[in-house]
């Protein structure tokens, strides 16, 4: 005997079919497409070249430029002789008489004469430090451009993925319309249309998240290139490389890499800055040793006294006595700083080579991954999705199979775009890691 629930099922089905028949045949799905970010505000397209140029003058670089200016001013500050000292004295030698005519008047001038080439050594030390500061600007520009490459292709990836998510939503809306027509013809159940609308709503939410990611990437890029207003309006003009370009770009980047690596390991700004710091440490060591060369102070004094009724001239000379300090601590400190600078130079040289090797490895790895996705996985997923969708529309496939196929296809499409962005980032980082500023 049938249960009461089983007797009610035909009634529920009839009500669902009647409700569907009351809808217009051309009714649109309930999941309206979110407004695109490009429509929300005026956008500003920017190329990678323009972004890198603007990064070379951002606030981080400006701060280092001021530091370099201060280091250059230090050369002028220390490349001077000590100033002479002029002193005067009034005193009385006749008891009880304090008038100006009864006072002794003493005028003295004294000059320190540095020996041991101290002034030149100070100037050479400061000059080497100023040179290191200038090279650090170039190094900072490289780092800022590397950050821009990362942020730029994050933005390009977000734009590309948002476009795919928008296409995915359109496909679901097309399927909703097709299934709605089949429902009117009594070819499918109303529950299939409901399930499809849920999936379309899910696709709309994913698109909204993708558009939000564009805004975040735009703000990040704006911060790196010193754009203070309309920070969410930037858009990447350069597209991600496609399958035909990836192999050629990677091969060109990896070609003659050994020579580029050797040139970078000898001429990159970090090494030039390290060499300048070694020179500064050597000159500072020489300056510390020169402290053991005694300086001489010479003075001339004129004294007019009422008792002598004339002017008395005197000369003096003074030199320091190295009784308590022979400057061995200053010399030891300068020697240790020189050794530290030499070790730092070796560390930087090795780090540069490792940086280039890592960048080259990333290019090769990203290229292979992108090619597998674009040439193998993506076409296969597209073919499977088209076949299952065709079968479903002909009544030979299930909605679950269609959902699984479309989700897999959409996931692979997004992953392929990520792989293309990884290739673009790796190529940019390799280019900058081997970049040597023209002399």
- For residues 251 and 103, is the Cβ–Cβ distance under 8 A? no
- For residues 416 and 164, is the Cβ–Cβ distance under 8 A? no
Dist CA 226 CA 23 (whole Å): 54
List beta partners, residue 194.
none
- Please give the pLDDT value at position 439: 56
Consecutive 10-residue averages of pLDDT for the chain (439 residues): 39 35 35 43 87 90 93 93 92 64 86 94 95 92 93 95 93 86 80 87 93 94 88 91 90 88 87 95 95 94 80 92 92 96 94 92 94 92 89 79 88 94 94 81
Dist CA 246 CA 238 (whole Å): 14
Indicate the Cα dihedral angle 184, 190, 194, 199, nearest 10°.
-70
- For residues 300 and 109, is the Cβ–Cβ distance under 8 A? yes
- CA distances (Å), 270 to each of 50, 264, 352, in order? 24, 10, 9
How many C-beta atoms lie closer than 10 Å to residue 215's C-beta? 18
- Please give the pLDDT value at position 5: 35
- Please give the pLDDT value at position 93: 64
Instruction: Tell me the whole-structure pTM to 2 decimals.
Output: 0.78
For the chain, which domains are there? 42-80+114-292+327-433 (1.20.1600.10), 83-113+293-326 (2.20.200)
Question: Any idea what the Cα angle at residue 353 is, between residues 241 and 280, rounded to 5°?
Answer: 125
- Please give the pLDDT value at position 196: 86
Dist CA 160 CA 214 (whole Å): 10
Closest-CA residue to 395 (of 197, 217, 186): 186
- Please give the pLDDT value at position 6: 40
- Please give the pLDDT value at position 304: 83
- Please give the pLDDT value at position 96: 61
- Please give the pLDDT value at position 45: 92
- Please give the pLDDT value at position 39: 46
- Please give the pLDDT value at position 14: 37
Burial string for 16-31 (b: 16+ CB within 10 Å, else e) reads: beeeeeeeeeeeebeb
Residue with tokens 């809306």: 173
């Amino acid at each position: 005997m049938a249960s009461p629930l089983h007797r009610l099922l035909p009634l529920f089905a009839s009500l669902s079919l009647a409700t569907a028949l009351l809808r217009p045949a051309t009714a649109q799905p309930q999941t309206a497409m979110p407004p695109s970010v490009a429509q929300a505000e005026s956008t500003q397209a920017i190329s990678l070249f323009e972004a890198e140029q603007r990064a070379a003058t951002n606030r981080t670089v400006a701060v280092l430029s001021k530091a370099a200016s201060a280091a250059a001013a230090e050369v002028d500050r220390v490349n001077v002789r000590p100033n002479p000292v002029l002193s005067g004295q009034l005193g009385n030698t006749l008891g009880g008489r304090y008038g100006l005519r009864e006072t002794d008047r003493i005028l003295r001038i004294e000059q320190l004469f540095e020996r041991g080439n101290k002034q030149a050594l100070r100037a050479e030390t400061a000059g080497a430090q100023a040179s290191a500061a200038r090279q650090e600007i170039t190094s900072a520009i490289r780092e800022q451009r590397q950050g821009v490459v990362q942020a730029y292709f994050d933005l390009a990836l977000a734009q590309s993925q948002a476009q795919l998510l928008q296409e995915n939503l359109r496909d679901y809306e097309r399927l909703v319309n097709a299934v709605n027509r089949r429902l009117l013809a009594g070819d499918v159940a109303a529950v299939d249309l409901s399930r499809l609308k849920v999936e379309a709503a899910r696709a709309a939410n994913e698109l909204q998240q993708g558009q939000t990611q564009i805004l975040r990437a735009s703000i990040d890029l704006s911060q790196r290139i010193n754009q203070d207003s309309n920070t969410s309006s930037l858009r990447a003009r350069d597209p991600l490389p496609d399958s035909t370009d990836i192999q050629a770009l990677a091969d060109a980047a990896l070609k003659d890499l050994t020579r580029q690596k050797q040139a970078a390991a000898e001429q990159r700004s970090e090494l030039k800055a390290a060499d300048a710091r070694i020179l500064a440490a050597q000159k500072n060591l020489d300056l510390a040793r020169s402290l053991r060369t005694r300086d001489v102070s010479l003075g001339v004094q004129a004294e007019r006294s009422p008792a002598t009724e004339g002017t008395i001239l005197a000369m003096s000379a003074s030199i320091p006595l190295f009784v308590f300090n022979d400057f061995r601590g200053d010399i030891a400190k300068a020697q240790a700083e020189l050794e530290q600078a030499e070790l730092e130079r070796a560390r930087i040289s090795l780090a540069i080579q490792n940086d280039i090797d890592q960048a080259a490895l990333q290019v090769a790895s990203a290229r292979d991954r992108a090619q597998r996705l674009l040439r193998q996985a993506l076409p296969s997923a597209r073919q499977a999705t088209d076949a299952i969708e065709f079968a479903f529309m002909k009544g030979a496939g299930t909605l679950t199979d269609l959902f699984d196929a479309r989700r897999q296809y959409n996931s692979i499409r997004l992953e392929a775009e990520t792989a293309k962005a990884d290739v673009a980032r790796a190529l940019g980082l390799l280019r900058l890691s081997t970049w040597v500023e023209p002399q």
